[in-house]
Amino acid sequence: MTQHFGRRLRRLRGERSQKEVAEALGIPTTTLSSLEQQECVPRGPMLQRLADHFGVSRDYFYPPDARATVGAREWLRQLRRTSFQGAPTIATHADVDFDEETKARFAENVRHRLESKD
């Protein structure tokens, strides 16, 4: 999925120079070059900045992959069947360290959604 990111970004840049696009994005030219060469792959705010600048959705860069979705659903089913010892556990990824109250609200929301889908 991510192997096509750089090619998609170059396609959006078109005939404009890297310098021109980087200045419009407010990033160094070297950063744009690294993104196009896939030396780094953006997430979060940088990905949103690129999508906004080029007028595309974030999915343009990372199109949905049905196989990954099926695999993720199966992984969640297996997690629900597993009994954890100790505190309830949920696997997440975030660049922010949330406080315990926020984590608990998030876990309850996920639990509620999972129960309503059964």
pLDDT score recorded for residue 85: 54
pLDDT score recorded for residue 44: 83
Measured in residues, the chain has a length of 118
Tokens read off for 7: 């090619």
Are the beta carbons of 45 and 26 closer than 8 angstroms?
no
pTM: 0.53
pLDDT score recorded for residue 39: 82
Outline where the chain has alpha helix (H). Answer: 5-13, 18-25, 29-36, 44-54, 66-81, 100-117
pLDDT score recorded for residue 74: 74
How does pLDDT run along the chain (118 residues), one tens digit per residue? 445 888 889 999 999 999 999 999 999 999 999 999 988 778 788 889 999 999 998 888 877 665 566 666 776 677 666 655 555 555 555 556 677 888 788 878 877 877 776 5
- Give CA–CA dist 52/46, Å, rounded: 10
DSSP 16: S
pLDDT score recorded for residue 41: 76
Domains of the chain: 2-60 (1.10.260.40), 66-117 (no CATH)
